[in-house]
């Protein structure tokens, strides 16, 4: 089921699934900062605002897909691909809460780059196959949105699925909202757990991802042969389950990761 026109509101909960907390569905991204301060990470992800469209665009504005289950209302840049979508959401959560000290990511080479240091003028300098943080001549505390975007641009350029898989916590249980399934590689792939529902003691999950080229973060259809009322949710019953999400085969106990 899709809207009859491309710009109509997306219905990402399909086939009779009750749309919960509708008031959060189509809020502007500007509103994210005001709601995340009172939310847990899981609630923030579950209620993340969606755009008023089913169209998926790349970072240049080109239409890649006219119909989707939904598109997250969040900024994209020229390097924001699959792993970077997970980085973006995690960083936006802490930025909206003004918990700048918690915004820190490691590059593929292993260098940790805290936003707090970036705000004080430190920058990444690549030295051969390694990288270091160096102080710039201008040392001012700048937590502005523009500087935050420059920070993320650098993180997304030098981090990816391999570094997230290495640095996030492995999980020996079933997924929770806000977790990620990660196939590490160059390229690998990352999908984000956006929602979870329990029906008859079975857990069902809704996923989102970005792609190549850099593009919107899209709610994606799951693999649920039974369909019923949870057609876009993927059932996971065991950590040994092998699931196919958007063409990628994940094994839960091997590929599930959680933010530390």
Q: What are the structural domain ranges in the chain?
A: 22-76+168-258, 82-166
* Each residue's pLDDT tens digit, 77-97: 878 888 999 999 999 999 999
DSSP letters for 73-140: -----TT--HHHHHHHHHHHHHHHTT-GGG-EEE-TTS-EEEHHHHHTTEEEEEETTEEEEEE-S---
- In the block, which residue shows the tokens 């847990």? 40
Average pLDDT for the chain: 83
CA-wise closest residue to 132 among 155, 153, 110: 110
Q: Do 133 and 121 meet the contact criterion of CB atoms below 8 Å apart? A: no
- Selected residue with higher pLDDT from 232 and 221: 232
Q: How high is the pLDDT of residue 186?
A: 86
Mean of pLDDT values over 25-52: 70
Among 3-12, 43-52, 56-65, 160-169, name the one with the lowest average pLDDT. Answer: 3-12
| pLDDT > 70 in the chain, percent | 82
Q: How high is the pLDDT of residue 1?
A: 31
Q: How confident is the model at residue 15 (pLDDT cuts 50, 70, 90)?
A: very low
Q: How high is the pLDDT of residue 118?
A: 96
- Phi and psi for 154 in degrees, rounded to 5? -70, -45
* Each residue's pLDDT tens digit, 136-180: 867 789 999 999 999 999 999 999 999 999 999 999 999 999 999
Among 10-14, 222-226, 237-241, name the one with the lowest average pLDDT. Answer: 10-14
Q: How high is the pLDDT of residue 75?
A: 80
């Amino acid at each position: 089921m899709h809207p009859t026109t491309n710009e109509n509101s997306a219905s990402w909960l399909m086939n009779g699934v009750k749309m919960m907390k509708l008031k959060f569905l189509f809020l502007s991204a500007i509103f994210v900062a005001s709601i995340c301060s009172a939310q847990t990470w899981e609630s923030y992800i579950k209620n993340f605002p969606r755009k008023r469209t089913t169209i998926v665009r790349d970072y240049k504005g080109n239409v890649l897909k006219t119909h989707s289950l939904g598109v997250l209302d969040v900024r994209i840049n020229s390097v924001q691909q699959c792993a970077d979508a997970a980085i973006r959401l995690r960083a936006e959560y802490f930025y909206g809460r003004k918990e700048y000290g918690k915004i820190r990511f490691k590059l593929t080479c292993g260098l940790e780059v805290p936003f707090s240091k970036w705000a004080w003028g430190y920058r990444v300098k690549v030295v051969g196959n390694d990288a270091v943080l160096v102080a710039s001549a201008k040392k001012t505390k700048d937590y502005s949105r523009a500087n935050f975007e420059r920070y993320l641009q650098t993180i997304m350029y030098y981090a990816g699925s391999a570094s997230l898989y290495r640095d996030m916590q492995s999980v020996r249980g079933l997924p929770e909202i806000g977790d990620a399934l990660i196939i590490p590689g160059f390229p690998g792939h990352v999908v984000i757990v956006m929602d979870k529902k329990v029906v008859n003691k079975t857990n069902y999950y809704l996923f989102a991802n970005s792609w190549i080229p850099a593009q919107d973060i899209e709610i994606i259809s799951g693999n649920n042969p039974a369909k019923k009322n949870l057609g876009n949710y993927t059932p996971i019953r065991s950590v040994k389950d092998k699931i196919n999400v958007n063409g990628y085969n994940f094994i839960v106990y091997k590929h599930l990761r959680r933010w530390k």
